[in-house]
Structure formats: structure tokens, C-alpha cells
Structure 1
Amino acid sequence: MEQQPKLALITGGSRGLGRNAALALAHKGNDVIITYHSQQAQAESLVQEVRALGRKAVAIQLDVGHTASFNGFKDELLKVLHENWQREHFDFLINNAGFGLYASIAETTEAQFDDLMNVHVKGVFFLTQRLLPHLADHGAIVNVSTGLTRFTITGSAAYAAMKGAVEVLTKYMAKELGTRGIRVNTIAPGAIATDFGSGRLKKSQEMQAFITGQTALGRTGEAEDIGGIIAALCMPEMGWVNAQRIEASGGMFL
């Protein structure tokens, strides 16, 4: 009997790192469900790309910062699982959705801080909690952090603090879910030229030159540098890697 393909759920999968992770997982023979906040057209375009690779894909709307919507999202997810895969479980959870904030500690507002907390910490914690009954045993979780938890760049304090919390949470998830054979790791990208943070790095040649000069491999990162690593962390070959922070920065600030 043919083995059922593995299935990944990727939050914030319509563009950037999430999009590339979805394609990388599809190239490795996995099916994907992605969530999107408002970019429905981009999400559906990605679904078609994945299907063109011979894999199944579905997009579902989700606001990761609105925990009250999570029960409704879970119901929609279960419906999608039944209709498309005739199952109630998925194998890999990629907590990727997020947004950036560039403001000094003195300038950061409480509202901005709360928005970051709701998406990057509270959202990751409680969405994972809601979905645990439907994450298959011997599966994997990949939480997306940032290189900014190791090195500092002025204006990233609040954002980096949230990701620091995610890295600690990763260890506790790994400890508590280990009895089910579920591995949990963090990937910490360096500076990546995507639309993240309104494409701040992508649009600034000055910033790109600065990052290039501070990176051992001599360039800024691209989404394609990260998606394959996320996919790899889900694969059996990485089965003994657990509770780790994997930095993917090309060697920034060594």
C-alpha cells in the first residue's frame, strides 16, 4: 500500500520565508496547508504552484494575533483535512507568521508592543496548544525566530525580545512533546531581503551594503536560503536534532 504523504501546516505562507518553505516541502514530496492574513491572491497563487509540482495544497485565512479565532480556524482546518486528505492529523507545524517593528525602546508604543506579543508569542503559544491534538505523533514543529536574539541592531529591541521568548518556548515544547516523539526546533534567520517589515532591507542599498560587509558569505540572505532549512528540519534525516536554535545567517557579525 502506498504510504500517505506527510502534511505541513505553515502560518504566514503566502509570501517570503513561509512561501519558500512551502515550495521546499513540496519539492521533497510533502503536501501543504498555508495560512494567510490578507494576501489571498498571493496565497492562492502559491497553492497553484504547489499543485503544479504534483502535491496537494490548500490556503486558509488566519489572523495569528487574534486568539479568539483559533477555535474557528481549527474547525476549518479539520474540514479541510477531511475533504482533501481524509484524515484528522497533520505532521509538521511551521510557526512562521509575523511582522517586524523598527523603533527604539524610547519610541516603541505599548500598542506596538502588544501587537508584537499577540502575534509572535501569544499566537505561537496558543495556536500550537489548540492544534496539538491534531499534530501527529513523531511529527515536528519549527518555530521561526531571528538572528537578532544573538546580535543587536538598534531599533529591534521589542521584536527581538518576542523572538527570545519563542526560543525559550521551543525548549519547553520539545521537553513536553518528546513523549509523543515530536521534535521542536527554532530557525533563526539573519537579514533576509524579502517583503518582511515593508521590504525595508530589500529597498535599501545602504542597508544591503552594511549587511554584506558584516556577513562571512558576503551577501544578504534571500528567502531561498531559509525555506530549504525549514523543510530539512522536518525530514527523518534530522530526526535526532531537537530543542535546537539553528541560525541561518550566512555568518553575520562573527
Structure 2
Amino acid sequence: MKKYKVSEFSKWMGVSIKTLKHYEKFKILVPEKDEQTSYRYYNFTHGERILRSKGLTSLGISLNEISQYMNNKGMDEIVDILTRCEEELSREMDAIRLKRKRIHELKEQCTLFMEKPNTWMIATRKPCYFIKHVQDKAFVECEKMKNIVADLMKCVPHTMKLAYLPQKEIERNALDPIWGLGINGDTAEYLKLDVSEPVLFLKEEACFLYTYSQYATEISMEEIMAKVLEIMKKQGYTPAGDVLIEGGIDQYPNTKRVFQLLIWVPISKNQR
């Protein structure tokens, strides 16, 4: 069987000498050694082990596990390792699908602001979870809330900037919403987030949706909500549930901020 010096073998296999030494460290490769010259030699059988090792590392298996697989483990243990990798890959694929879904949602949002700014439509709001975070320009003091907010911040890009306005506040003409964070219901459930109190669940509802898009001025949220409710009234709609306000991506043409909001106001079935 033909033997190759380290530099030759490295070139034929397309791996660095450093990588070969790394494989030696884990006993994935055990080259022949000339006792007189101390030169190490490889053959094509070592090449097969490199090919198998690179294939397994590309599947997410560690070099330590590969070493055990090649030298010690039985077939049942190898199947266990591959099963674990299969499960991990499934989790990664689910995470990618969630990100793709979020990208699609953001594209839809941007399209609304481009094509239908400052207009209204009837649309279905997806179920979501909301937790208050800021009121009267100060963080709401609640230890459990802080932990939930921290978890939500780990879930970006799925976490949304939201504001919440209870129907009872609208009825007494108090239109200053509570700002906070939120996440779509199905995403929260998949990620196994803590959605117990003080988290609020807002079920799927038919809504009067207003796409607010204006240059940022001193106008307050109370004034924006009053404007939306007035438009609703003119169109023959009245609020039938708690309002959710979703912050848009916003734009900054010529360094001026364009303030964007999706304002979801539930309506009753007979108003549709």
C-alpha cells in the first residue's frame, strides 16, 4: 500500500496539515511512523477515515463522538448519535421556518404602509400575547414582568413592539395606551414561553385596521386614537374589544422619522 508524507497527503485530501494533526489528537487518524526518521506516513485508508469524519462533522457530530464512533462504539450507539443530530436538525429547520414566516409578516406590513398609508380596512388580527412594559414614559415595576421581557428579547425577530388600550378606557374617553412587547400566539407556544399573568392573551378578532403613517411630530397617541375612532364612527363602526397597536418598522427619509402604526380595533360580527 502506497505511503504519503504529511504534505503530500494534505494536498491529495484537500485538508490542512493543522487539520490532520487535529484528527490525530482525537485518534481519528493514527499515521504510521518511521522510527528512524520520525516521519509520519498516511495511506488511502486514512483518506477514507477523513472523508467519513468530515461527513459526520458536517452533520453536527463532534470530533470526540466521531473518535468514539470509529474506535469504540457499537452500531446502536451510533444510531443514538445520529438520532440526536436528526432531532437537532429538525429544531433548526423549525427555527428557520419561523424566521421565514416573520419575514413574510414584515413584508406584508411594509407593503401596507407603501400601498395603503393612512387608510382603513377590515382585517383579522392574529391571536397574540402582550405584556405591558412602559407607562407614562417609565418602565412598569414588576419582577416577574422583567423576566418575561428578558425572554421576549431573546426571541427577536419574533418580538413585536405593541401598545394596548382596553375597551373600558375607550368608553370613558381615556385614550392613552400602555406600551409593551408581544409575540404571535403560535410562535409563543412553539417557543414554550411563559405566558401566565401578567401576560395578556388577545384572541383572533375581526378588526377595523388603520395604517397610520406620518412624519413624527408632537401629536400624542391620544390624538391619534381619537382620529382613528372618529374615522370609525363616520364609517359606521364602533369598538367592540380591546385595541392593539403594532409599531411599524418606521422610515427615516432625509433623517426625518416617519412614524408608522397598525391600529387594530375589534368590531362586532354584525358590523363586518
**TM-score bracket relative to the smaller structure:** under 0.3
The higher radius of gyration belongs to 2
**What TM-score does the superposition give when structure 2 sets the normalisation length?**
0.23
**What TM-score does the superposition give when structure 1 sets the normalisation length?**
0.24
**Structure that is richer in strand per residue:** 2
Whose RCO is larger (CA < 8 A, sep 6+)?
1
